[in-house]
Each structure stands twice: as structure tokens, then as C-alpha cells.
Amino acid sequence: MLHFFTLLSSQPLQTTEYVSPGKLSQNGPELPVPLASHCFVKLNSTTGMIVGGISHSGRTNRTWFFDLGTKTWTSGPDLIVPRWQHACGSVSLRTTLIPGKNIEFGEPVVVVAGGWDSTFKSLKSTEVWSPIIGKWVRGPDFPAPISLSEIVTTSGSASMFLIGGRDDNGFIYKLDCSLPLNSWTWEKLEQTLKTPRDDFVAMMVPSNVTNCQETTASNPEPATSTIPTTISTTTITTTTTATTLVVTESEEGIETRQQSALATGIALHLPYSC
């Protein structure tokens, strides 16, 4: 499977690369503008979306769609608030997002949370977009300003989990996107990261590579929030420590634990097959 990655740097870059297992990386199509500190979400099997970031002219509210088939970029709807170092995630669900706007299963809903403004001040605002709406609308404010965090989603679930971030003390929050938008709220879970961190990478991996069933949770107290989904895992890797944090979602709730990493700073992108 061919994976598409945009390059991030302290200086905005316009280059991209294609990375495929067992092969050397290849140059991809240039970004519409030099960009850094943005986020990228998958909308469907052929389309992705870049949201916000910082360019040579400063923080931006621009978004772009990327078509894997034609390898072309097209402009998307502008964010309400320009932001960078924010988190974003996408889920596919069936719900009445706002009155008169029914989301059918398979249509993406994108959430952007927090980030920095032009003065490096963290934001607590969130924004929501879906093709059925056609523009960004206000989402539920985060409980406190947040930046340099990560959002992960689980296959077949309408929930998002925002993990860690600057000045967040390793907290984990859940957002149930199956409800109407005016009922959305960020739920702080009892579980926390064992090691608070920011500016990290998060992704889903199969539970059979984590030994989740054989490891004792770092938080012995049972979760009060139950999540009726199949077992899945999220792995977070930092480039400064040789540990991998595993967040397991199951019918019993969410647990966090640490394992030794295969290599410092290496994150494996594995197909979700749980």
C-alpha cells in the first residue's frame, strides 16, 4: 500500500514524498504553498485533506484536498480561525449533525481542535466540517487551551480521543461524534498518560502486536466510561524516549500502559485488522 506523507519542518517546505514499504521514498507533488505545523486527515480511500498550518506569510486558515488518483490539490473551505500546531481527526458516521443536515454512513466528519494563534498562545476553540455542511462551523470548546496534541479514532467508532498536548498533564479526552453537534462535549477520562508529552505522533495498530491482554494497566482503577466497540489500540511514539505508550479501547473502557519500543523515534504504520 502506498502511503502519502507531507513533510514538516521548522521552516515551511513545499515538497512531499511517497513512502512505500520496502522501497525508497519518491518525490510527490508539491504542496500549493510552503507549509509546516499543519495536519492531514484521510477523508476516504482516494482523498485526503490538509488543514491550516504556517506558511512564509504566517499562520493560515487555508485547507486543501488531495486526490490520490489525479495527484492534484484543490482548495478547500477556509477555517474560521487560522491555526497551527493543532490536532485533527476524521470519522465516518450516520447522524443528524445539524438540523436539516443528515450525515450518511461513509461521509467524513472532520474535527480540528486547539493549536496556536500568531502569538504562540494556545487555543481552546474547535471547528467541524463535513461535505454535507460545506463549510467549517463552531464545535464544542475544549475545556482549556490546548496545542501540540494528537487526535486518534478507532475503526467503526464515532468517537475521537484527544491525547496529551502542551500544559495538558497527559490527559485523555473523548468526543462522541454520533450525537447532534449541539450535544457534543469533550469528556475527560479517568485514565491519563503515564508520561505527559506534547508534539508526538499517534496512530492505530493491531492489538496483536502490543501484547495488550498480557500487560497490567498503569491505572488500576476501573474506567467509569465504557465504550461498546471491539478491542483496538493506539500507539504513541516520542523521539526523545525509547518507550511506546499503548492506549487500549475495549468494552471495559480505556487503559494505558507502557512497553519497550523497538527503536527510539520509529513509528510503524500497520494495517488495522482487529
Which 3-state string (H, E, C) describes 4-32? EEECCCCCCECCEEEECCCCCCEECCCCC
Assessment of whether the complete model's pTM goes beyond 0.85: no
Query: Is residue 37, in this structure, part of any structural domain at all?
Result: yes
The residue that leads in pLDDT, 4 or 168, is 168
| Per-residue exposure over 93-111, b if at least 16 CB sit within 10 Å of its own CB, e if not | bebebbeeeebeeebbbbb
Residue keyed to cell 496483536: 208
Query: Is residue 269, in this structure, part of any structural domain at all?
Result: no
Say which range, 65-74, 120-129, 159-168, has the weakest mean pLDDT: 159-168
| Per-residue exposure over 260-273, b if at least 16 CB sit within 10 Å of its own CB, e if not | ebeeeeebeeeeee
Residue 220 has pLDDT above 60, yes or no: no
Mean pLDDT value of segment 162-190? 89
The domain tally of the chain equals 1
Question: Which 8-state DSSP code applies to residue 43?
Answer: -
Could you list the residue range(s) of the whole structural domain that residue 47 is in?
1-56+63-75
Query: Is residue 45, in this structure, part of any structural domain at all?
Result: yes
pLDDT digits (tens, 9 = 90+) for 70-97: 999 999 999 999 999 999 999 886 665 6
Q: In what order do the strands lie in the sheet with 16-19?
A: 3-6, 16-19, 26-27
Q: How many CB atoms lie within 10 A of CB 180?
A: 12
Query: Is residue 241, in this structure, part of any structural domain at all?
Result: no
Q: Name the pLDDT band for 52 (thresholds 50, 70, 90).
A: very high
Query: Is residue 23, in this structure, part of any structural domain at all?
Result: yes
Residue 219 has pLDDT above 80, yes or no: no
User: Could you give the maximum distance between any two Cα atoms of the chain, in Å?
Assistant: 50
Query: Is residue 132, in this structure, part of any structural domain at all?
Result: no
Query: Is residue 67, in this structure, part of any structural domain at all?
Result: yes
Question: Which 8-state DSSP code applies to residue 133?
Answer: T
Alpha-carbon span 119 to 142, nearest angstrom: 19
Residue keyed to cell 484543490: 74
Helix (H) or strand (E) holding 123: none
Burial class (CB in 10 A: 0-12, 13-18, 19+), 47: middle
CA 240, distance to chain mean position in Å, is 21
Contact 53, 38 (CB under 8 A): yes
Q: In what order do the strands lie in the sheet with 39-42?
A: 39-42, 47-51, 63-67, 72-75
Alpha-carbon span 21 to 194, nearest angstrom: 32
Amino acid letter for position 183: S
In the numeric block, which cell numbers belong to residue 80?
474560521
Alpha-carbon span 17 to 40, nearest angstrom: 14
What's the pLDDT at 229? 30
Query: Is residue 108, in this structure, part of any structural domain at all?
Result: no
Amino acid letter for position 143: P
Q: Name the pLDDT band for 269 (thresholds 50, 70, 90).
A: very low
Q: Cα–Cα distances in Å, from 122 out to 12, 167, 184, 195?
A: 20, 10, 21, 21
What's the pLDDT at 122? 93
pLDDT digits (tens, 9 = 90+) for 12-38: 999 999 888 888 888 989 999 999 999
Mean pLDDT value of segment 132-136? 89
